[in-house]
Amino acid sequence: MNILILGAGQLARMMSLAGAPLNLNVVAYDVGSKKIMHPLTGEVYTTTLEQAIIDADAITAEFEHIPDDVLTLCCNSNKFYPGKAAIKTGGDRALEKALLDKTDVACAPYQLITEKAHLEQAVKSLGKPLVIKTCQAGYDGKGQWRLKSDLEIDKIWSEMADFIASGTEQAPHTIIAEKMIPFDREVSIIGARDIHGNVAIYPLTENEHTDGVLTFSIAGKNNHSVQTQATTAFTKLANELNYVGVLAIEFFDVQGTLLVNEIAPRVHNSGHWTQQGCHCSQFENHMRAVAGLPLGNTELKQITAMINVLGQPSIPADVLKFADVTSHWYGKAPKPGRKMGHINVSADSMNDLADKVGELTEYLPEEQYPGLLKAAANLILH
């Protein structure tokens, strides 16, 4: 069976690895170069996108920001999963908020902004501080502002106005202001839905960020009190979108009540731990879903944490000395802050996991892995 993935980055790479044992032949479309290529070897093919669509039995995506003409072409084939509405919603916070409102899934109070008067109204109606985000083209903490004082309105508006002005009639740029919610932690739910509407949900993941980028994720803690809330939200949203594939939802946990922060219509960084922590990883379940295969077991196999490798030229080989430590490298040219790979660490207990991560930091120093020790202590020991 042939699968075409829109995007040729690390997520396509890991989907390809997961698909191979299922006899799924994967090629990727590099949106930047507009070439069809192999997501593992990097070999570039002479095949056109149009021919790749014809050759594919199913088409999926590794990210949300796909050019509309490409997305439309793929959707017109009736082979594209998770569906155009899901990809559009994941790439536009205004559409995301509309979906949450329609399905009665809770999120922070918000206001859309296209002119300065809207920003001034948001300050009055939502109060300060505000978190302000671009509705399109924002990720990993980019395209965001924090407004804490009325004195900041003019300066922030001038920056926001430039973004709004850069939009077009066909692709307008908008901004959203949200009430800043003091939250106890960020958690995410990863789940899969197949073409028949069957759903398989992974255990809740806790996440820690450094400078707006995910540093550390952990699964295996007792989250029964909020798992049901997350599962209900996932099911509502996935059913409304008639979703097929893996969907990730990030939440703020506010004293036991979950508020949606973001939706990602794809396999997700906070679900990388599933490669070692579960019987069937998020990557395999996504490939199963889009290929029309039965979903795999999402039960926790062992307590597992994921460490992001950001901007480093390699993962130290010494980490492989440790039992239950697995290295995943993406094969990209290093750049500051770029996601280069990840390390999964598994253990029989939280105390054992804390000890392992502590020992690993001997080879993962603070200057190269900022915030790791603190993030691990926050999530494992609290």
Q: Which domain holds residue 228?
A: 185-381
3-state secondary structure of 369: coil
Q: What's the pLDDT band for 142 if we cut at 50, 70, 90?
A: low
- How many structural domains does the chain have? 3
- Res 173: pLDDT: 85
What tokens appear for 367 in the block?
A: 């200057």
Rounded Cα distance, 269 and 349, in Å: 23
147 & 245 share domain: no
Look at residue 100 and tell me if it is in a domain.
Answer: no
CATH at residue 48 = 3.40.50.20
Helices 153-165 & 116-126 angle (0-180, nearest 10):
130
Say if residue 131 is in the same domain as residue 265.
no
335 and 202 assigned to the same domain? yes
Model confidence at 169, pLDDT cuts 50, 70, 90, reads confident
Whole-structure pTM value: 0.94
Q: How confident is the model at residue 375 (pLDDT cuts 50, 70, 90)?
A: confident
The two three-digit tokens of residue 128, written as one number: 């300060």
Q: Domain ends where: 151, 179, 207?
A: 179
pLDDT digit string (tens) for 201-234? 999 999 999 888 899 999 998 888 899 999 999 9
User: Is 86 within a domain?
Assistant: no
Q: Determine what percent of the chain is predicted with pLDDT higher than 90.
A: 85
Which CATH number covers residue 229?
Answer: 3.30.470.20
Q: Is residue 353 part of a domain?
A: yes
Q: Where is the domain boundary, 139, 160, 179?
A: 179
My answer on whether 50 and 113 are in the same domain is no
Judge whether 93 lies within some domain.
Answer: no
What is the mean pLDDT of the segment spanning 230-240? 98
Question: End of a domain among 154, 179, 204?
Answer: 179
Which of 110, 157, 148 minimizes the C-alpha distance to 128? 148
Strands 25-30 and 2-6, by their bridges, are parallel
248: in domain? yes
What is the 8-class DSSP label of residue 151? G
Same domain, residue pair 170 and 276: no
Q: Are the beta carbons of 28 and 39 closer than 8 angstroms?
A: yes
- Residue-wise pLDDT for 256-305, tens only, equals 999 999 999 999 999 999 999 999 999 999 999 999 999 999 999 999 99
Q: Are 111 and 177 in contact (CB under 8 A)?
A: yes
Are 139 and 214 contained in the same domain? no
- Considering the domain architecture, whether residues 172 and 201 belong to the same structural domain is answered as no
Q: Which residue from 320, 179, 334 is spatially nearest to 261, judged by alpha carbons?
A: 179
Asked whether the predicted pLDDT for residue 138 surpasses 90, the reply is no
Question: Which residues have CB under 8 Å from 382's CB, separation 6+?
Answer: none
